Structure 1
Amino acid sequence: MKTSTPKSLIATLALLSIGLTACSGSSDAAQETPAENQTFTVAPNSFPVTLDQHSVSAEAAVFSPMQHVMQPLVVRGDNDANEVEPGLAQSWELVDDTTWRFNIHPDAEFSDGTPVTSADAAASIQRILDFGGGLAPLLEPITTMDTSDDKVLLLETETPLGTLLNTLSLVLIGPADQMDDEAFWEQPIGSGPFEVENFTVDQELVLSSDEDWWGDQDIALDELVFRSMPEQSSRLSALANNEVDLVTGITADATGEVEAMDGVEFEKIPSMGYRKLWFNSSVEPFTDPNVRRAMWHAVDVESIVKDLFGEDAMVAKAPIPQTAFGAPELEQYEYDPEYAQELLAEAGYPDGFETSIQYTDGDGTPDSQLAQAFISAWDEIGVTVNAQPKERAVFLEDFGNADYDMNLMGNSVATGDADYTLGRLYLCADERNGYCNEELDDLLNQAKAELDQDVRKDLYHEASEIIWDEAVGIFPMDSTEAYAYSDHIQDLDMDPAARHDYFSVSVNEQ
């Protein structure tokens, strides 16, 4: 049996229960006839740029499909469960405040028949640490990984780490002796119920079911296909023509079109997603907090969010969405262009300045819409901002290298806990946006180590206030997750953090 989860984690994970389950198909499911061809085709709003999840560990676009191929030690509970559940680890326990024991399932094996070992789990964690990507800061407190027993992984942490289980749910495990070979990631193997049949960059990812999968969950699908369609209009056209079964990330302006489609269901769920504009605080003039505050006061956030996204977004009240554990309710910056100009003058820029903003390209995307609205507002206070839309791969590289003046992008709190965002993006050591504050570091490190949930919440409130008051970025909106699917799809369960899995999906005859 699985050991009990520490009480401090229960409340955190309970927040994930806000996700709503959408079950597609007829309400009289017993009369539905399963299709002979159990192929499910997804046109996601973001297509994976690589299959190496460790190299882009925080990317939902990669994790979502790859979790069907590679499994983590533990998985987030379903929408009715308030705890993590067994993955490759059939049980775990907190031996003492800083030692965790994970017992790997004795039957767990990769698709080539080799057993999954503690060394494989340790190597996967280490690869994420070595890459230094989005998850690395959350794993850095791990000081020792003992793999002396092939089926037991002992993790020791520098301090108590109440968020470890949440974080490990995002670490996919691969074979230790193969993962450092670049060729491996062209067609990687894992321990999940699907295998990579084909991956063509910017085109298609095809997964086929593994008939010899060691797990006991019933998987109805024979094939799972992800298609790259950068333009939303193309994705929706493909859905209307039954060329794809699911389209994710539907924007507000397309809602009417989707709701009018025959044979298509449209759903929205509360989301762990939000949008943020970061200033590069290491680059002039954004080294001055008054310049950053001026840029925020110059933007009528409430009107822009309402006009562009309507009911599909909510004006942000914190640097993380309100659905996440640890989010306070703060007051959005007042729209005051005159005060913005005063702040610029005090900072030595009475005539404004010229800068740039980068975001992923694609007409009609939330980022391009927000960017254009912001650029127009900034022009009114004498700040000229050059738009830099970029292909996603280039954007991610420049973002990872902090090679930008301002960066606009969507993000999600994948674990539902503030630590996932605040504790991995805003520490000085993260070097993500040029901002460094030792007081903030102290609060975030205390929160990471604290096991008392109420204390952690208070610490995250204080940390959020600093990020907000210092205008590390502009935080305009919390998002909903909108998607549409063919009505012959059964048992579709979508994730509020956009890390969707399709293990329960089946296809009925049309």
Structure 2
Amino acid sequence: MRLTRRHGGVAAAMMAAALAVTGCTTTSQGGGDGEGVPQELTYVPAFFPVSLDPHSFPAEEGTQVAAQQTLETLVTYNDGEAAPLLAESWEYSDDELTLTFDLREDVTFSDGSPFTAEDVKASLDRLIELDKALAPLFDQVTETRADDDHTFSIVTSEPLGTLLASMSLVFIGQADEMDDDAYWSAPIGTGPFVVEDYVADDHVTYSKNEDYWGDPATLDTLEMVNMPEVAGRITALETGEVDVVSSIPPDQVSGIEGQDGVEFIRDPGYLYYFIWFNNNEEPFDDVRVRQAMWHAVDIEGIVSDLYGDGAVPATAPIPQAAFGATDNGAYEYDPDRARELLEEAGYADGFQTSMQWPREGGPNIRSLGQALISAWAEVGIEVEPLEKERAAWLEDFGSMNWDLNLQTNATATGDADFTLNRLYTCEADRLGYCNEEVDDLLGQARNSLDPDERLELYGQANEILWEEAPGIFPADLMNNVAYGSQVQGLELPPTNRPYFSTVSIGE
């Protein structure tokens, strides 16, 4: 028997009102093990959405997960290849400077209004104009064009081999509603679910889109709830109050695995840790200091102790699951070499600095920070820990008011360009690092439509970044999700952003 959920009363009241209008029932009428079982699922994400607007918050995992249940993109992208979604096909022309999409003609938004190329144009234009984290991916775009209702074109100043991957992150909303804040509090999309209610820091409730153009969802109701405390999430899963919990911390996994009635998935993903140096400031403008701090740390031992099977030591500046990753080998743990490099750089007696990280920044982030600080102390580097609330950390991070910065990041498109070109070019200037050779390699990779050529170019750029150490890249994190055995059809993509359109509730 399933227990009453945290927001069961609220969700039930809203669904009752909706059903009074639609005349639908909340019980699946399909066959199989779930016949007659209420198709209602409660999901606890690792990061609750700060907004449902994926253009304003394009790098926030919580917002992306929430938005993709109701808003869709032209294509999906995985393993270096694009697949159709709202676009049926596409082709390059004009010496590969124009990418034209043929859009599906059988698609409507959940309110019944038609989906057209104007919606695509307005969505991409808004994302670029807002100039948030994804805008640099479209720097070479010179024109967006709705050629007719079902044909959309993007014109670039030079060939852009990453454009399809980048378009997999452009969620399509309604053109007439782009500038309406109220629309983005419950966006109307073309996807398999409809937003019924969003309460910041509390819950998002969805109902099934009965007129979805593709295979309809089995779930009648999907609810995302905010449970900040890990222990509370796990208890709620065990008691049946919730059905799915994302990103179980490594130190809690042993208590989940093998639990009767609970399933656990762990797979490689696009999430990883890095420690950035402020390359603009002394002593981190000296490559020898940066290399010394990497040699001073037993990365393999720390990752094994803190994460077990939940992470692997990184061998590139991007996770190995991403297209374009190469194995550069581990930085050798060699404290004596670290001391030699410090002496060569003029810091034989070490130095003092500080490292910031966000309090809710990733699994075991505080323990990771403390382990790094302890290792650096052994070679004479005294590092002050500065753990901050996320809002304060973001403000300091954006203004480069930091010496070292510890955080998680994700190669969201699954293509190396998303991380390397966006973060490590001279023009990006995200951490004060600049190498014109890296810029040239990444520029060639971005302009090439040949996957093999792009892999070769990414490999060369990875090697330089690994050697010059603008940051330390300790670990690729494994994605994981735990769920009740009644949940069927749940998959965990490398983005760590599950779709629920194929999920159902069984006996």
SS state of the match for residue 278, structure 1? strand
- Corresponding residue number in structure 2 for 1:425: 423
C-alpha contact (below 8 Å) 2:287/2:469 kept by paired residues:
yes
Q: TM-score by structure 1 length? A: 0.87
1:410-435 per-residue CA deviation (whole Å, 9 max, x = no partner) reads 22323332122212221222222221
- Corresponding residue number in structure 1 for 2:473: 475
Q: Distance in 2 between matches of 1:280 and 1:223?
A: 46
- Corresponding residue number in structure 2 for 1:99: 98
1:79-125 per-residue CA deviation (whole Å, 9 max, x = no partner) reads 9xx84333222332223411111122223333333322323212222
Q: Distance in 1 between matches of 2:261 and 2:327?
A: 40
C-alpha contact (below 8 Å) 1:42/1:226 kept by paired residues:
yes
> Are 2:157 and 1:158 aligned?
yes
Q: Distance in 2 between matches of 1:403 and 1:120?
A: 39
SS state of the match for residue 410, structure 1? strand
Q: Which amino acid aligns with 2:182?
A: A
- Corresponding residue number in structure 1 for 2:314: 316
- Corresponding residue number in structure 2 for 1:109: 108
- Cα gap change, 1:395/1:101 in structure 2, threshold over 3 Å: closer, same or farther? same
Match runs of 1:196-235 below 5 Å:
196-213=195-212, 215-235=213-233
- Cα gap change, 1:238/1:447 in structure 2, threshold over 3 Å: closer, same or farther? same
- 1:434 pairs with one of 429, 432, 435: 432
The alpha carbon displacement at 1:445 in A equals 0.5
The alpha carbon displacement at 1:205 in A equals 1.8
> Are 2:140 and 1:145 aligned?
no
Q: Distance in 1 between matches of 2:302 and 2:131?
A: 35
Match runs of 1:346-365 below 5 Å:
346-362=344-360, 365=363
Match runs of 1:307-456 below 5 Å:
307-362=305-360, 365-456=363-454
C-alpha contact (below 8 Å) 1:489/1:505 kept by paired residues:
yes
**Higher RCO structure (Cα 8 Å, ≥6 apart):** 1
> Are 2:190 and 1:184 aligned?
no
SS state of the match for residue 177, structure 2? coil
1:384-432 per-residue CA deviation (whole Å, 9 max, x = no partner) reads 2222333344444443443432222222323332122212221222222
Q: TM-score by structure 2 length? A: 0.88
- Cα gap change, 1:376/1:166 in structure 2, threshold over 3 Å: closer, same or farther? same
Q: Distance in 2 between matches of 1:380 and 1:299?
A: 10
C-alpha contact (below 8 Å) 2:280/2:433 kept by paired residues:
yes
- Corresponding residue number in structure 2 for 1:120: 119
- Corresponding residue number in structure 1 for 2:38: 37
The alpha carbon displacement at 1:358 in A equals 2.3
Q: Distance in 2 between matches of 1:175 and 1:455?
A: 38
C-alpha contact (below 8 Å) 2:198/2:205 kept by paired residues:
yes
Q: Which runs of 5+ in 1 are unaligned?
A: 1-28
The alpha carbon displacement at 1:464 in A equals 0.6
C-alpha contact (below 8 Å) 1:67/1:501 kept by paired residues:
yes
- Corresponding residue number in structure 2 for 1:507: 505
C-alpha contact (below 8 Å) 1:162/1:450 kept by paired residues:
yes
C-alpha contact (below 8 Å) 1:245/1:486 kept by paired residues:
yes
C-alpha contact (below 8 Å) 2:319/2:325 kept by paired residues:
yes
Q: Which amino acid aligns with 1:102?
A: F
Match runs of 1:289-308 below 5 Å:
289-308=287-306
- Cα gap change, 1:381/1:231 in structure 2, threshold over 3 Å: closer, same or farther? farther
The alpha carbon displacement at 1:461 in A equals 0.9
- Corresponding residue number in structure 2 for 1:194: 193
Q: Distance in 2 between matches of 1:501 and 1:475?
A: 29
Match runs of 1:11-90 below 5 Å:
32-34=33-35, 36-76=37-77, 83-90=81-88
The alpha carbon displacement at 1:440 in A equals 0.8
C-alpha contact (below 8 Å) 2:193/2:217 kept by paired residues:
no
1:126-152 per-residue CA deviation (whole Å, 9 max, x = no partner) reads 222223333222222221112242322
- Corresponding residue number in structure 1 for 2:7: none
Q: Which amino acid aligns with 2:443?
A: N
Aligned pair count reads: 477
Q: Which amino acid aligns with 1:204?
A: H
Q: Which amino acid aligns with 2:308?
A: G
Between 480-489 and 169-178, report the one with greater CA deviation: 169-178
Q: Distance in 2 between matches of 1:382 and 1:410?
A: 26
1:38-64 per-residue CA deviation (whole Å, 9 max, x = no partner) reads 121111222222222112223332212
Between 386-395 and 47-56, report the one with greater CA deviation: 386-395
Q: Which amino acid aligns with 1:309?
A: Y
SS state of the match for residue 439, structure 2? helix
C-alpha contact (below 8 Å) 2:210/2:216 kept by paired residues:
no
Q: Distance in 2 between matches of 1:146 and 1:202?
A: 38
C-alpha contact (below 8 Å) 2:351/2:381 kept by paired residues:
yes
- Corresponding residue number in structure 2 for 1:486: 484
- Corresponding residue number in structure 2 for 1:10: none
C-alpha contact (below 8 Å) 2:209/2:216 kept by paired residues:
no
SS state of the match for residue 413, structure 2? coil
Once superposed, what is the RMSD of the aligned Cα atoms? 2.3
C-alpha contact (below 8 Å) 2:264/2:483 kept by paired residues:
yes
- Cα gap change, 1:434/1:201 in structure 2, threshold over 3 Å: closer, same or farther? farther
SS state of the match for residue 177, structure 1? helix
Q: Distance in 1 between matches of 2:345 and 2:200?
A: 46
Q: Distance in 2 between matches of 1:405 and 1:55?
A: 28
1:461-505 per-residue CA deviation (whole Å, 9 max, x = no partner) reads 110111111111111112221221100001111101212211100
The alpha carbon displacement at 1:216 in A equals 2.5
- Corresponding residue number in structure 1 for 2:24: none
Structure number with greater Rg is: 2
| Percent identity of paired positions between Structure 1 and Structure 2 | 47
Q: Distance in 2 between matches of 1:355 and 1:56?
A: 31
C-alpha contact (below 8 Å) 2:360/2:390 kept by paired residues:
no
Q: Which amino acid aligns with 1:188?
A: P
Q: Distance in 2 between matches of 1:151 and 1:393?
A: 41
Q: Distance in 1 between matches of 2:145 and 2:361?
A: 50
Q: Which amino acid aligns with 2:314?
A: A
C-alpha contact (below 8 Å) 2:77/2:414 kept by paired residues:
no
Q: Distance in 2 between matches of 1:364 and 1:124?
A: 30
Q: Which amino acid aligns with 1:69?
A: T
Between 485-494 and 283-292, report the one with greater CA deviation: 283-292
- Corresponding residue number in structure 2 for 1:278: 276
- Corresponding residue number in structure 1 for 2:18: none
The alpha carbon displacement at 1:232 in A equals 1.9
Q: Distance in 1 between matches of 2:226 and 2:353?
A: 32
Between 418-427 and 441-450, report the one with greater CA deviation: 418-427
Q: Which amino acid aligns with 2:246?
A: T
Q: Distance in 1 between matches of 2:99 and 2:416?
A: 22
The alpha carbon displacement at 1:508 in A equals 1.8
- Cα gap change, 1:34/1:229 in structure 2, threshold over 3 Å: closer, same or farther? same
1:348-387 per-residue CA deviation (whole Å, 9 max, x = no partner) reads 3333333222223159923222111111112222322222
Q: Distance in 2 between matches of 1:41 and 1:133?
A: 31
